[in-house]
A and B are shown apart, each in its own frame.
Chain A
Amino acid sequence: MKHRYFKFLLLLCVLSLFMADLSAQGNRPQFFTIYGTIGDSISGEPLDGAAVFIPEKKIGTYTDKKGFYAISVPPGDFTIRISLLGYNAKSLPIKVDQNKILDAVIIKDQKFLEEVTVTSSRPEENIKSTESGVSKLSIRSIRKIPAFMGEIDVVRSLQMLPGVSSVGEGTTGINVRGGSIDQNLVLMDDAPVYNSSHLFGFFSVFNPDAVRDVTLYRGGISAQFAGRTSAVLDVKLKDPDLDKRSIYGGIGLVSNRFGIEMPLIKNKLAISLAGRGSFNDFLFKLGPRSIENTVANFYDLTGKVLFKPSEKTRLTYTGYYSYDVFKLPSDSLSSVDVNASSSTFKYRTFNQTLRFNWFLKDKTSLTFSAVQSRYLANTAAQDSSIAFDMDSGIRLRSLKGRYFSETDKNSFSFGAEANSYVITPNQLVPGPFSNLRPITIQEEFARELGVFIEDEWKLSKRFSMLAGLRFSYFQRLGPDTIFTYRENAIRRDENVSETTLIDKGESSQNYSGVEPRLSLKYELNDNTSLKMSYNRMRQYIQLISNTTAALPTARWGSSDRNINPQVADQVTLGFFKNIKDNKWETSAEVYYKLTEGFPDYKDLADLQFSRNLEQEVIQGQGKAYGLELMLRKNTGFLTGWLSYTFARTLIKVDERFEPIHNYAGAWYPANYDKPHTVNAMMNYRMSRTVTFSANFTYSTGRPGTFPAGKFEVNGNIVPIFPDRNLQRIPDYHRLDLALIIDPNPDRVKKIQGSWIISIYNVYSRNNAYSIFFDLNPALQTNSYKLAIFGSVFPSLTYNFKIGGR
């Protein structure tokens, strides 16, 4: 392993030398460069899309996502004017006689304060950017969306965007443009997150106090991202403040939060630490006896260290740890062939990222990062004769390097990534007096290498192109036992024709392929553009789950000789138009996506203890297509958006699987196929201190399979299911309101407190969580609707911040 990393570093080193040479050639000695970052005066967040302009020379630029800008000017005395919608413009005199670094902060315009809520990028970004299907939400705008139980939630807020859905409230993960939850690459400061949910999906693992912004790539996905076929959710955490110390936190019904950030060496080294915990299960003790022993808790810790030895270099370390535990008073692990009186479920995420940024010169940077992501799930029962501990997990170690250089016409980047996976399938360890036999399933070892090159050309004032190419190489490593099955036979032990043993470290199967990415933009005029994008994505590891909503304890699996990688091709067409000086944004996007190797499972598959997952997994085809319409108002006292999504997601497995799959040979809707979705989100600033917000959502009910008949076996009534997912549960709709009271919007007081009063499900809609069937002769009907969030739910949260900007 060390050898591989060393070679990789060597490669990057050579590449960086090559690059330094390239940039030297582009140097113009008669010009000097002014560069730096522009940030928000209060939060210190880098500001994306701020205009930096030199009136004397009539030249200017915009800051990038990291707030970075650079302008080349001849020597002389100039004024630099910095402006951004919602902020007071600032002019600074500067004498240019050498390359200069100018970092600046700008102050929010009190008139506009808190109004510009739905977009954190510059208003014409949707017209000017080459990519389509990219949405960015800052934590500032997420805080404005009425929160369930007052708990601000990153993942939940994404569900207000077109093309994003989930199988239901309180379920793990999101489905983006017809992808399953594991087809999204969820990154927290570059480290993949394998389970983004607390408490089964009621809340997400991202602490809102630590998050800076969230970007969802669902259409034009940059070649720097890979490994999943559907979408990328890039969560960036705030950098600790190098200047001032602050303490912040919040008290809510679900969790309590506390955080601190402080400079250790002023303007050089700072640290932040944010914690969040829910310890509210004492409430169960007040409930009936049957639930008094229930445990359901979580906590998470997010820490970040920023070291800035010079203006040109930055080193950050991010550490994240989360822990969930729940214990049910009684249950039966029937699928584990164990009847236990009580089981405890735990799952943990431990991620670390070390990232080094080196700003070489003139909009040129190098970034290296080393990542470790670990996810562990555990199920345990204590009854002595059948006591057991069952563990599963996944560990990723990754090294990445990226070179980025921008000129007026070109944004060029390339990089490489090396990943090493260790997947632990379920391992069962019996207790000391247990009669169970231990189960050890061979760990899966794999590595994945990727190199990419990407360039964005501004071919003319109107036309731009973002072209990327990625090559990925996946290697499944031994020790491994590979079964070869008779041709076209159902994969079962009795159809094995040959068994091959692979030694430790030896390659048992390789896959490789190119992943072209292309985005085109043509501006019809300053306010209208047409965009097209095409992506190919390859996915080598996947979550093994055949339930409607995935369990947090579900295992991961990697591609091997019998399980092919998933390959998805997506085409998106988009039309974007802004009206009234970017006050209103409109967009329409259509997409079509075809996935080969889409995972489905045989009837009643044993996914927990299968040693040969290929006997349980059936790979089919996935097809998704849809239309996303959006209308957004960006400025004024009333802001918000309205979106409509038409989306279909269908799956098909080959006819030859008929003996093991109850609906082989025909397309059927995926569990999360919801054709129609309408989302409306509104913020109204009533006064300087009070903001009112509302959101409404409507979607078609998710598919379900209802029984077509019944028969009797040994006293049991058995339902007959002739098809799959061809019926639907009732449609879903809900209205939420929130009132955000910030008595100190100017941040002039030392202690700042704010209140969020929210009402979830205002008109108390009994939305169906699920439909179930019960043939109790004493009852009038055979089908019932279960609504978990079936009533109005008010909540109150208090947030505070002491110190800081």
Chain B
Amino acid sequence: MMKKFLPFLLYASLLIGIVSCITPFEAEVPDDERSLTVQAYLSNIVGDTRVVLQRAAPFTTQSLLVSEIGAQVWVSDLEGSRIEFSEVERGLYLPLDPGFVALQNGQYTLNINTRDGKSYRSTAERLPTLVPIEKVYREPRFEDRIVEGLIQTSWDVLLDAQDPVELGNYYRWSWVHYLTVPFCQIVFGPPFGGGPDRLNGYPCCDQPCYEKVVCTQNCLNLGRDALINGKKLSRIFIQTIPHCITEYYVEVQQRSISQGAYDYWSTVQQLSANTGGMFDVAPAAVRGNIRNLSDPQDKVYGYFEVSNVAEVGLFLDRTPQGAALLFCGPTVTPFPLGCFPCQGLNRSTVKPRYWTK
């Protein structure tokens, strides 16, 4: 609510003719923050479970978030079973058993031993009750342009679900988009021929090769039933898809999460949206559910989220009629010699779950 008053003030100042301006400012920012940060997810669906460990960095554009490597990571459940994780990429830890999922009524604890000998543990997190998705649908979005007139530029993906009668349901919505890639390696012009702007692509050796695209910016989409308890969650906005002339496949996830996770995410959302304006609320501490076992002063930023995921796949047929002249990616010329294997963390020859065509 607070953020919208800043634009109002800007409008008001425009109304009254004042020139408002934004100039760079050298703020004195402390630079000693190197705490462990944890992004840990466990759910009921295969492939969703992962732990990302990093170190916090000074709040500057130049500073890098360094991955925490060589840590020992495992999840324990109520029965005392221990599910080990291994580092598959710098700072990314996945379960050794790729089929490991959270079970109904299960309760899980995340444990981390870092290389510097410190031990961290999360609180025990219970898997919340599943709330099914009623439907996922799309609606075209039009824009009135000066040259082209009224044209369709994009699609909105929307979701409906029925909130259970009990109060206290918390949701986080996310999406994963898959596409088939014709080229597994793309290189600029010379020495492969053509001008410096020309793109040459090596076709994938294994066809089709599926590439996974996840949301990377402003991806938090949260909801709770405080105002609508027991009623329908309708027209929940999931994403906007540009109106290009190809098919589009997306998996939409509705995660039932705990109140603690919701509070954590909303703190994250508010803090990352805080602009330093007059109508910002006072800054808050990010309180996760992970602690250093021996040193309470050692801050850890992050949350071990255990979510019960309802998932729906959506195929979108973006027909060429009335399509806008949108930039839908560069033109790539196939390179006739050789091919590149379909590999990497986000590429696979395995067909996505709801890919029906």
Contacts and interface: CB of A to CB of B under 8 A. Distances in A.
B189 to A, nearest CB: 25
A771 B280 CA distance: 12
A42 interface: no
B135 to A, nearest CB: 15
Interface string A775-792: 111011111111111110
Interface in B14-30: 14-30
Given A171-B278, A281-B15, A437-B231, A721 B58 contact: no
B179 to A, nearest CB: 19
B35 A709 contact: yes
B43 to A, nearest CB: 14
B280 A547 contact: yes
B81 interface: no
B9 A788 contact: yes
B219 interface: yes
Given A706-B27, A777-B61, A721 B271 contact: yes
A666 to B, nearest CB: 14
A334 B5 CA distance: 13
A768 B25 contact: yes
Given A710-B65, A721-B284, A772 B277 contact: yes
A557 B285 CA distance: 26
B286 A720 contact: yes
Given A332-B4, A716-B268, A784 B15 contact: no
A164 to B, nearest CB: 19
B65 A721 contact: no
B218 interface: yes
Contacts of A781: 24-26, 61
Interface stretch (A265-273, A469-477, A601-609): A601-609
Interface string B201-227: 000000000000011111110011011
Contact of A785 (B22, B29, B285): B22
A783 B25 contact: yes
Contacts of B235: 385
A101 interface: no
A704 B7 CA distance: 20
Contacts of B31: 709
Given A609-B226, A711-B54, A772-B275, A200 B59 contact: no
Contact of B1 (A336, A718, A724): A336
B301 A720 contact: yes
A484 interface: no
Interface residues of B, number: 89
Interface in B269-310: 269-272, 274-287, 301-303
A641 interface: no
Contact of A784 (B8, B22, B30, B65): B22
B272 A719 contact: yes
B8 A326 contact: yes
A394 B273 CA distance: 32
A162 B287 CA distance: 41
B129 interface: no
Nearest to B17: A793
Given A781-B24, A788-B10, A769 B227 contact: no
Given A435-B234, A439-B227, A718 B16 contact: no
Interface stretch (A1-9, A83-91, A283-291): A283-291
Contacts of A428: 227
A716 B16 contact: no
Given A338-B227, A715-B217, A604 B278 contact: no
A548 B14 contact: no
Given A437-B228, A768-B25, A718 B271 contact: yes
Interface string B238-281: 00000000000000000000000001001111111011111111
Contacts of A333: 1, 4
B326 interface: no
B33 A709 contact: yes
Interface in A291-345: 291, 294, 296, 326, 328, 331-339, 343
B356 interface: no
A779 to B, nearest CB: 7
Contacts of A782: 27, 29, 59-61
A717 interface: yes
Interface string B300-325: 01110000000000000000000000
Given A336-B1, A713-B39, A771 B15 contact: no
Q: Is the interface of B mostly helix, strand, loop or mixed?
A: loop
Contacts of A171: 278
Interface range for A: 35 or more
Interface string A162-173: 000001101100
A708 B11 contact: no
Contacts of A777: 61
B56 interface: yes
B175 to A, nearest CB: 12
Given A604-B281, A706-B28, A770-B276, A775 B219 contact: no
Contacts of B7: 328, 331
B286 A283 contact: no
B255 to A, nearest CB: 11
Contact of B281 (A254, A546, A704, A768): A546
A337 B223 contact: yes
B4 A328 contact: yes
Contact of B14 (A291, A337, A716, A766): A291
A788 B272 contact: no
A134 interface: no
Given A714-B39, A779-B61, A604 B270 contact: yes
Given A170-B9, A604-B266, A547 B279 contact: yes
B105 interface: no
Contacts of A788: 9-10, 13, 18, 20
A773 interface: yes
A709 B24 contact: no
A662 interface: yes
Contact of B5 (A291, A551, A605, A793): A551
A280 interface: yes
B8 A783 contact: no
B185 interface: no
A709 B302 CA distance: 14
Interface of B: 1-5, 7-35, 37, 39, 54, 56-61, 63, 65, 214-220, 223-224, 226-229, 231-235, 237, 263, 266-272, 274-287, 301-303
29 contacts: A202-B16, A280-B16, A296-B12, A331-B7, A337-B226, A435-B233, A547-B279, A603-B282, A603-B284, A603-B285, A604-B266, A604-B270, A704-B276, A706-B28, A709-B57, A710-B57, A712-B54, A713-B37, A714-B219, A715-B217, A718-B286, A719-B274, A720-B35, A772-B276, A773-B59, A773-B276, A777-B61, A782-B29, A793-B17
Given A770-B275, A787-B23, 11 more contacts: A548-B278, A704-B276, A709-B56, A710-B59, A712-B37, A714-B219, A714-B268, A776-B61, A777-B61, A782-B27, A790-B20
